[in-house]
Amino acid sequence: MKKISAWFRMTILLLIPAAAIAKFEIQEPAVSGIKHDRVTLEWTTSEKSFGAVHYGETQKFGKKIADPSFSKEHRIQIRGLKAETLYYFKIEGWPSPPSPKDKKEKKETDLYTFKTALYEGPDETILKILSPPVVTAVSPNAVTISWETNKGGKATILYGTKEDRPQKIFGEFETKDHILTLSNLLPESRYFYQVSVRDSAGKIVRSSYSSFVTPKGVSGTLFIEGPAVASRKIDAIKVQWLTDRPCKSRVRWGDVPLKSFQKEKTVSASYSREHILKLGGLEPNKRYFYTIHLEDRQGRKSVSDIFSIKTESDSQ
């Protein structure tokens, strides 16, 4: 009976998927809801865990606040902060309860910072943001940001990733309730943003910088449009496509529909969303097959289905 039991335990261990024994990780945190005396920190972990935030005005921190929830998604609001002050923080997490036979150590993030907002006082004649911007309707490629001001004005959002140049989106009307949608975003990317409002007198109020992370898309890398035939001749073809994020791209191609083609060509050596494939020296009236290979800045790779295109006939 003991031999059967040991064999059964070994069988169960062999059947455990690799994801079940993956290394515990803490994702990069998001800072939001920054006011003169408080801030909200959010982060996710690769598996359910407890967490805590160490923070302070120096890199020695000095203060700690725990998140009692046992979850993959964590959210903590820190109150009682000083206005217009730079704070340092790091996050630690640990799966629980730890098994004596398989004890996992606590995981800590890198060092991060945030700065609290300026205290503006109770003067109602000053244009100000009454509530911090709230990010809702989050999807891989779009989010909605809303906030409220005490007086009417036209809104602007400055946003972007660390890798791309900042962009702006503008509100069309003067209002106290501001709701703007950011579109054409990259999946699984952290965006930094700042909202501002200008009133009819030209006065401007700006929020502190905050950030959000878009969720993962349906697959690692997606086509938004294409591939489409841009031109076709008797001895050359040009095909173009768009990707939902900047990618390097190459194709493997040949005159047979196999996964391993005879030739390979680099299309985009640097990261881009627009890709144009040019092939020359081809035979007239012949069908060629190709697959598109993509790689984004995070090293995620994707391979397309097999596409085909036929050159023009040389008969007139």
Domain coverage including residue 289: 223-310
Instruction: Quote the pLDDT of residue 281.
Output: 92
If asked whether residues 99 and 149 sit together in one domain, one would say no
- Work out the average pLDDT over 82-110: 79
pLDDT tens-digit map of 202-241: 899 999 888 888 887 655 556 677 788 888 899 999 999 8
If asked whether residues 245 and 294 sit together in one domain, one would say yes
The model's pTM: 0.42
Number of independent structural domains in the chain: 3
- The pair of structure tokens assigned to 197 is 């409002």
Whole-angstrom Cα distance, residue 299 to residue 135?
27
What's the pLDDT band for 69 if we cut at 50, 70, 90?
confident
Classify residue 195: in a domain, yes or no. yes
Classify residue 38: in a domain, yes or no. yes
Classify residue 11: in a domain, yes or no. no
- The pair of structure tokens assigned to 272 is 């881009």
The residue from 115, 148, 169 where one domain ends is 115
CATH of the domain at 169: 2.60.40.10
